[in-house]
Amino acid sequence: MLIVENRKDIEAEIGKIGCIAFKKGFYAYVGSALSGLERRVERHLRNVGNNKKLHWHIDYFLACPAVEIKEAVFAEAEERKECEIAANMHLRKELDFIENFGCTDCSCKSHLFFSTSLTTLKEHVYNCFYESGMKPSYCFF
């Protein structure tokens, strides 16, 4: 899961979803790294100026100048867990979400969640990992 800060209200074109308004605040993006965690996080950290191909919804969001990855929270699992974690995040009534973001290949409502409070968002992120039976690790950027 990526913890991302958006430093100002923006609108961004997100692939085939179209233009989305993103409020200033903090976002948690639920994804998988089946091809390798280090390579996936490195890919997300690369900026667009390095000719990064925009493929996933998160790529478009991260390409916005006001957006910055603050932390990656992760856990190794034997099976895919991102939809279970996204479903847990969705059940948390204090968090808003961006409908259809990051979930074109599943039936989830969203894989991107929002809070004005970094502390609140991180609390929900870590609790979702624990509730899914995983011990989260993290790295800061």
**Domain assignments of the chain as residue spans, ordered by start:** 2-140
Q: What does pTM read for this prediction?
A: 0.91
pLDDT less than 50: residues of the chain:
none
- pLDDT score of 51: 66
- pLDDT score of 93: 84
Per DSSP, the three-state class of 14 is: strand
Q: Pairing state of beta strands 96-97 and 18-22? A: unpaired
- pLDDT score of 15: 92
- pLDDT score of 53: 83
- pLDDT score of 95: 94
Distance CA 25, CA 34 (A): 28
Residue 77's contacts (CB-CB under 8 Å, 6 or more residues apart) are 134
